[in-house]
Chain A
Amino acid sequence: MDTLANVAHGFGVALMPINLLYCFIGVFIGTLVGVLPGIGPISAMSLLLPVTLSGTPESGIIMMAGIYYGSMYGGSTTSILVNIPGEAASVVTCIDGHQMAKQGRAGPALGIAAFGSFIAGTFALVALMLVAPKLASIAIAFGPAEYFSLMVLGLVVLTFLTQGSMAKALLMACIGVVLGLVGLDSITAQPRLTFGRMELIDGIGLVPVVMGLFGVAEVLLNTEQVIRRDIINTKITHLLPNRADWQASAGPLTRGTMLGFLLGILPGGGAVISSFASYALEKRLSKTPERFGNGAIEGVAGPEAANNAAAGGAFIPLMTLGIPPNVVMALLLGAFVIHGLQPGPLLITQNPGLFWGIVASMYIGNVMLLVLNLPMIGMWVQLLKLPYNVLFPLIILFTILGVYCSSNNVFDVYVMIAFGVVGYFMRKLGYEPAPLVLAFVLGPMLENNLRKSLILSHGDLWTFVQRPISAACLALALALLIAPLLPALRKKRELVALDEEA
């Protein structure tokens, strides 16, 4: 009952007019930057950090948090409409979301993404209130060995993302790992595969790779088709998900939320892994897995729910231990500190008004986001009615701007163009970009944690089996790999062969 009193207190704080205003500004800016690919919450938050200094700590942090989860809502928009994932977590949304848009079902795709985000976000908050302190231990139970095994599991799950040949997907994954390792070695500070270029010391940026492989390559592929001048079917049947859509999405939403929340607690990579783990899970469970990749709404609902629930879960290590699990949370930590607060084990007891106020404001912010986003779906869908010969130069301009803004570096624009060309040839030869991107994100973590665990265990490989969490991840990975591999390989090759004959 203590919790109830706290929640009431929190809503008291959050419903103060000034805090409502800050909350609205936050989610509004968040939606804006979320829609613009490349300009992520990080740049918006670091720009606005000084602005928040003038208000009370509550209002400042409410606004910063609003930008964060607001951008999570917007992130799926460009993935669905024009196949440009703004961040790694939206890569999976591209696979089926953009196919849906091509079939004239952009409305339901955007709708289920918005509702899914809302449901998952709300659930994550309830869980955050009820179990936050208890779950803090999960965040620190994961050491290098556990992370390594989790990454192995993640890479195995990758193989479910592909529709074509398994060998090609695995080759792409390896290339992704290698690309991810470019730059200074995080352990010895030795430059790797940088070819003497200063810009590569910091590694290849995720945003240019993703925008090149998805956004630019998609444009190149589309423009070579003379018949499909209107790439997107202009017959738009309805704007919101219908009953059948909801029935198909209910299960994926629930499972995605649970998966996302639990993985979100883990510092580093939780949101990304959860979104594609959810996709893989739904594909496995589906009676008609062949629909995935061709516009299955489950493939949008599950990952979107997972990545928003992960955003909620990410608050747990920050609020309870003062450990920010990602860069955005680190900025939020900065906001706390500038306002004279120290997030850590004592935060909730020392500043109950602040903690519960922020959580309550996130409920309100989620409602605001839904109200803000649903009418916009109509607007976005109208955008697709633009003839493609007008739309594609705009897409190219936006990718260039997005890439430049993500790093303020012209070199990244070159990288994006290069990956656009490579991505075009990859797609022509039947190689898919999704495994490459996800391995690109997971690869460096895999490598770093492998080396750290070997240093810690003094070279003893048994450490991965002796530690229970690690062993469980590896066992699951092995089971996933062995069980479906043999029949799947055969079936998939036939599918590819059929495609080629046609």
Chain B
Amino acid sequence: MSQCRRTIMLAAIGVLLSVAAGAQEYPTKPITLIVPWPAGGSTDISMRAIADSASKVLGQPIVIDNKAGGSGTVGPATMAAAAKPDGYTIAQIPITVFRLPLMQEVSWDPAKDFTYIIHLTGYTFGVTTSAESQFKTWKDVVDFAKQNPGKVTYATPGAGTSLHIGMEQIAAMAGIKLTQVPFKGGAETNAAVLGQHTMLQADSTGWRPLVDAGKLRLLMVWTAARSPNYPDVPTLKELGYPMVYDSPFGVAGPKGMDPKIVAKLHDAFKKAIEDPAVVATLAKYDMVPNYRNTEDYKKLVVEITESERKIIERLGLAKKTN
């Protein structure tokens, strides 16, 4: 009980002090980090590792709140609509937060509704097929698709994800037509390609144990350089598609956050992605820290939005203005 009373007193003092001295005492209570993906996925686990390390720097626990849905936009959108900009609610910002507004009516504006804090890392994407499949290389897929337009099916973790957009872009460049089958996440796409319900799978590194076990064949990766784990697998660039897809992500809070709080969070997360334990967890998913500070992240958001706009328009997926 004395512990309880002490906490109450501390909290009371904290409230008084923060009224008196602004952000000086931040953080005085646990911080909620919204992860807009289901628990147990690659994003969830890497964000948990990062949050665990950052909470040690901040001296307050960071509680993960999995608000999945809408290709990773429901969480940030809910935050933008409802949370106070007090630094106690922040969210992971996947690239779909910038992309979906270009494709349909949404409730948020990526340029206005967020306070961007820090850019953290990105994914490794790859295209796989069943080990029993007729496709040995990506070229086999292209040859087959040229003779059978639309017959090649691929599983993605959702419409509008980088995997969907990326595959459509590749198909456009190769002059072939592929059919997307949107699933809900890595677990489902793994099962779909393993059971040969779809011919290909385009997803982030959730396929890794199955590729290692020889049940799936990795046809290409979408990173800038070859993955150290799969030195024999070509990148998009090597296959003649001058693109890199890594779907970079960072964290942000609701609009109007105090710059001092932003700086505190930035410093804590920066230390976290330098933590060797975090780097090791990220490496399990072939993720590499890709640090950018608050200012650079803001610029990056503008760049990404512009490049996405071009791609979406070229693919004919842009929202209809009526």
Contact = CB atoms under 8 A, between A and B. Distances in A.
Interface of A: 42, 46, 49-50, 53, 139-144, 183-184, 186-190, 198-199, 201-203, 267, 317, 321-325, 327, 329-334, 337-338, 340, 342-347, 408, 448, 452, 455-456, 458
Given A184-B74, A330-B187, A456-B153, A143 B197 contact: yes
B74 A321 contact: no
Given A186-B182, A332-B40, A337-B284, A321 B212 contact: no
Interface string B204-246: 0000111011010000000000000000000000000000000
B195 interface: yes
A346 B40 contact: no
Nearest to B64: A46
Contact of A201 (B39, B49, B69, B190): B69
24 contacts: A42-B39, A183-B69, A184-B74, A188-B159, A189-B100, A198-B107, A202-B69, A203-B69, A267-B187, A325-B187, A330-B40, A332-B40, A334-B39, A334-B41, A334-B44, A334-B48, A342-B212, A344-B212, A345-B213, A408-B65, A452-B181, A452-B182, A456-B153, A456-B197
Given A142-B195, A317-B191, 4 more contacts: A183-B69, A188-B159, A337-B281, A456-B179
B188 interface: yes
Contacts of B78: 198-199
Contact of B212 (A329, A337, A346): A346
A338 B212 contact: no
A338 B160 contact: no
B89 to A, nearest CB: 11
Interface of B: 38-41, 44-45, 48-49, 52, 64-71, 74, 77-78, 81-82, 100, 103-104, 107, 150, 153, 158-160, 179-184, 187-188, 190-192, 194-195, 197-198, 208-210, 212-213, 215, 281, 284
A322 B39 contact: no
Given A327-B38, A345-B209, A189 B71 contact: yes
Contact of B182 (A187, A198, A199): A187
Contacts, number: 135
Nearest to A340: B284
B190 A322 contact: yes
Contacts of A190: 104
A201 B77 contact: yes
Most buried by A among B39, B48, B192, B194: B39
Contacts of B213: 344-346
A337 B45 contact: yes
**The 9 residue pairs across chains A and B that have the minimum distance between CB atoms:** A344-B209, A330-B40, A143-B197, A140-B195, A345-B213, A334-B40, A342-B209, A202-B69, A140-B194
B70 A321 contact: no
Contacts of A321: 190-191, 194, 210, 215
A187 B159 contact: yes
B191 A327 contact: no
A187 B182 CA distance: 6
B195 A198 contact: no
B39 A46 contact: yes
Contacts of B45: 334, 337-338
A412 to B, nearest CB: 13
A322 B153 contact: no
Select the residue from B67, B71, B74, B77 with max chain A CB neighbours within 10 A: B74
A49 B48 contact: yes
A458 B150 contact: yes
A355 to B, nearest CB: 14
Contacts of B197: 143-144, 456
A210 to B, nearest CB: 20
B159 A189 contact: yes
A322 B208 CA distance: 10
A54 B177 CA distance: 50
A311 to B, nearest CB: 16
Nearest to A267: B191
A338 B281 contact: yes
A278 to B, nearest CB: 25
B158 A186 contact: yes
Contacts of B48: 49-50, 334, 338
Contacts of B100: 189
B71 A323 contact: no
A448 B64 CA distance: 28
A189 B190 contact: no
A143 to B, nearest CB: 3
**Which of the listed residues B67, B184, B188 has the most CB atoms from chain A within 10 Å of its own CB?**
B188
Contacts of A198: 77-78, 81-82, 107
Contacts of B209: 322, 342-347
B82 to A, nearest CB: 8
A452 B74 CA distance: 23
Nearest to A266: B191
Interface centre among B104, B208, B209 (most CB of A within 10 A): B209
A321 to B, nearest CB: 7
B40 A331 contact: yes
A347 B215 CA distance: 14
B270 to A, nearest CB: 21
Contacts of A333: 40
A322 B186 CA distance: 10
A201 B74 contact: yes
Contacts of A201: 69-70, 74, 77
Contacts of B66: 46
A342 B49 contact: no
B195 A327 contact: no
A189 B159 CA distance: 7
